[in-house]
Copies of this chain bind each other. A is one copy, B any other.
Amino acid sequence: MKSKEEVVQEFRVQTIQDAAMRVIARKGMAAATIQEIADEAGVAKGTIYLYFRDREELVEKTFECAMSQLLEKIDEAIASNEKFDQKVRAIMAAKITFFTANREFFRLYISLRVPEGSAQDQRRQRQHCQPRYRERTQQFADILQQAMDRGEIRRVDPHRLALFIMEGSTAIILERLNEPSSPDEGSDVDFITSFILDGVRKRSRS
């Protein structure tokens, strides 16, 4: 049973993390200040330091929290499908749906791909956030490798292929989030999946 204090604690942490996500989404990683996050959350600056050691930890926990939600969705997508093309469809659909529902997270996600700041900042970022990204790339590379082993797709460097596909699809998602109005999710999922499978070359009949 959770004590009253624990409930309040969790509520505060969540409120601050949500605020952090919105501010980072607006201003970007580097320009999001503690003051603005505090204002957004409706608390004083000092309060944030009751729940997070420093700015670094706040960003990290915020990222971690949203990231594990996304990974969960993707794991589901992978688990519930057998064939490669189904898996790809499901993963792309999960990503688009997730980022549409959590637009704020997207900016944070993008900011953390390439480390910035002082040498020390960069080291910390590489240690904490980049592994999650690498992990995700590797996960996708593994799926590609399996499909190659099963003969479902042709053999190429799975890691490079994973990078290409993930970043390519991220670009489409970014475009969707910036467009005033987007086509329905299904048609973009179709577009991405068919491009991945067959490329752009025209061919007789399938």
Contact = CB atoms under 8 A, between A and B. Distances in A.
Report which residue of A117, A159, A164, A169 has the largest number of chain B beta carbons within 10 angstroms of its beta carbon. Answer: A164
Interface of A is mostly: helix
Place the interface of chain A in its size category.
35 or more
A101 to B, nearest CB: 20
Contacts of A197: 199-201
A197 B156 CA distance: 14
How many copies of this chain?
2
A115 B164 contact: no
A188 interface: yes
A142 interface: no
B172 A114 contact: no
A166 B156 contact: no
A163 B168 CA distance: 7
A168 B196 CA distance: 11
A116 interface: yes
A110 interface: yes
A2 interface: no
Interface of A: 27-31, 107, 110-111, 114-119, 121-122, 144, 147, 151-154, 156-157, 159-161, 163-172, 174-175, 188, 191-192, 194-202
